[in-house]
Every structure is written in C-alpha cells, then in structure tokens.
Structure 1
C-alpha cells in the first residue's frame, strides 16, 4: 500500500510550493478561519469552493431553509461534528479507529448527502476540514487515487492507518508551519497538500 512515507524526500518541497503566497493555490484563502462563530454558515459552505468545488447558491440555500427537509438535516449533522469537538481536539490520528464517535459523526453526515443535490462526502470534508483541520481529512480525488481507494470508507481507513504510522514524519514536515492566520498547520492538511501536489504535478517540477 502506498504511504506518505513514500514521499519523504519531496514532502517539504511540495509544501513550500503550495504555501508560497505567490502560488496559484488556495492556501492563502481556504486555510483561514476568518470570523467563525462556532455555527456553520452559508459562507462557510461556499468557502469549500476554493478547493475546486462547484457549489452554487441553489445548492447551499436549501440547507438553511426552516423546514425538516434533507438539506437542514445535513446541516444539522455537520453542526453536530462542530458541537462535539474543538478546532484542536480530537485529532484524527488519536482515534483508535474511524468508527469512534467523533468521526462517526462525520460519516453520519456523509450518509445524508445522498438526498441533497451536489453534496457528497467530498463536499462535507471540504466544508468541515477548514473548521476542524485536525479531525476531518479532505476527501480529495487525487489523494484517494494515491491510496487506491475507490470508496470513501476505504479511503478513510487507509488514511487513518497511514497517519498513525507516520506521525513522526508528519510532525517533522509541519514543524514551524502556520496557516495564513497564524494557527499551526495540521498534519492532515499537510498530508493532503503533499499528496495532492505530488499526484497533480509529480516531483520533476521541484528540481
């Protein structure tokens, strides 16, 4: 199975390239909390578009309608993730498995996307990761390809095993790195950036 350890030699260079303020990537915009109050808002949902989603107004507005439909149920499920955790705890790598209650809440939200147009596990992950960067991994197609995972649950299990096995490496490549608003860069975000950038561009552009 492929692992972040396979990219040990080029990981820091991938991070350097992505977080460069002159680079055409989302780090300076997506990786900010702005004025988050603890309650999920429509701007929080739309901020996920910075990672190449295509959420339109008519995909987000139904989540905030005052009824008992599928949209508000999905919004409530994502809010439960936020209410049960903090921006720093728990960490994905500290869970014994992806079946533990904090991450089970994320998986429950994923299940509800089947009834909401344009929402998938990918969408949920890109909305929630900004707000819980240590708990919710970004479920990106290129990162899933790296792990040879065609199912979301398969991806999360493979990622969980890899993160737990390589915490020293992830701690080393994130040491001293911060988000644009001054928070420590999470290991999950660093892993996502390194693998995404490697799968998208390879290592030849780093030499």
Structure 2
C-alpha cells in the first residue's frame, strides 16, 4: 500500500491493523475499542464536556488547565462543526467541504484566544468522534509520515497557519483513500463484529500510526 500521495510504502497493513484491534495485556493496550466506542451524549452534531475527555483514551493528558481551555473553545468548535454537512465521507468531500474541515482549526490561529495550551492534534481527537468519516486524527507521527515535498512540504520560513496545514493534510488523506479504496474496504472486514465500527479514515490513521510506531 502506497500512502502519503505515493511517497510512503506500508508493508502488511493488515497485520498492523490486526495488532491495533486485537486484545493485548495491561499496559500494552491500544485505544480501540474504548476511544471509538465511548458514549458521551450520543449526538454526532453536539459537543459535550465528555467529548473533551475522549483524547485521554489516545494517551493525551487532559488536565484541569487543558479542560479549561477546551471548554472555552467549545463554542467556536461547535460553530465549525455545525457547518459540516452530515453524512459526508472524506473520500467524497468536495473542495468546499475540505476547506470547512480545515477551518475547524481556526480558533488555534485566533489572536484573541487565550491559554494556548492545546494543539491541533488534541482538537482532532475531540472532533473526530463526531465526524469519524470526515475529520481525520493526527499527531506528531502522522505529521512526520505525511511530510514530503510531494505531499506536505515542510513549513515555510514564515510559518503556516493551522488552517493552511489542515488544507494540505485532508487533501493528502483524501488522495490516499481514493487510491487505496479497495484495500481499505478489505481492511474494514477485520474490524471485530462485536466492537464499534471503524471508518476507512480511522483505519488510515491506525495504519499510518502503527507503521510509524514500529
């Protein structure tokens, strides 16, 4: 499987996914099924305080100060979430929708927002569960994986806004989903029937993250 717009090759994606989804011993467990199956308010359109704690299941500390910041950002994040069309997957999203996903991160570039102790990766871990087929997960491993002159070039000398970065990332991931559609369809069959379902976008994140972790 070639990912990152053809610049990276991943060998045996099936084994990587099976390792992430399979049962593991204490201290060695991955986030599935707990992050993906976490029930908060049961509303895919409305953020609640329980959603702000979901990143803890992906190994991100949400202490009192971060909870304070996320709570203050929630109205802005909700406004961005409200603009996303329901039922759209990243693979089929048009240019307008891709830009709306990127715009979710505008609060991180707003000079009037105080307490900047959260990053885009944390926001993604909050929002992904509301639109798991459209809003991608990412962290430092995913950023490094996609960094390439023919995919997402290194940040220019004068920096790059969160929206500008996400505009590049969502298009690179959309390209990967389209180019490997049959493979992701096959991988989706590996998700346990008694567990929460996973979208192709979530499977892409797992494969990228696991290939970068080895």
CA deviation after TM superposition for structure 1 residue 82, in Å: 4.1
Q: Of residues 107, 112, 116 in structure 2, which corresponds to 1:112?
A: 107
Q: Of residues 166, 178, 188 in structure 2, which corresponds to 1:174?
A: 188
Moved over 6 A (4+): none
CA deviation string 1:115-139 (max 9, x = no partner): 3422222111111112211011112
Which structure 2 residue ranges, 5 or more long, are not aligned? 156-164
Match of residue 211 from structure 2: 198
150-159 or 116-125: which moved more?
A: 150-159
Q: How many positions carry a matched residue from both structures?
A: 186
Q: Of residues 27, 32, 56 in structure 2, which corresponds to 1:27?
A: 32
CA deviation after TM superposition for structure 1 residue 58, in Å: 1.9
State how far apart, in whole Å, the 1-side matches of 2:182 and 2:199 are: 13
Cα RMSD of the aligned pairs, angstroms, is: 2.5
State how far apart, in whole Å, the 2-side matches of 1:124 and 1:186 are: 19
- Structure-2-length-normalised TM-score: 0.75
- Structure-1-length-normalised TM-score: 0.77
- Do 1:122 and 1:138's aligned partners in 2 also have CA atoms closer than 8 Å? yes
Higher relative contact order (Cα pairs below 8 Å, separated by 6+ residues) = 2
CA deviation after TM superposition for structure 1 residue 61, in Å: 2.7
Give the helix-richer structure, 1 or 2: 1
- Do 2:31 and 2:57's aligned partners in 1 also have CA atoms closer than 8 Å? yes
Question: CA separation of 1:198/1:179 partners in 2, compared to 1, >3 Å: closer, same or farther?
Answer: farther
List aligned pairs for 1:52-63, cutoff 5 A.
52-63=59-70
CA deviation after TM superposition for structure 1 residue 146, in Å: 1.3
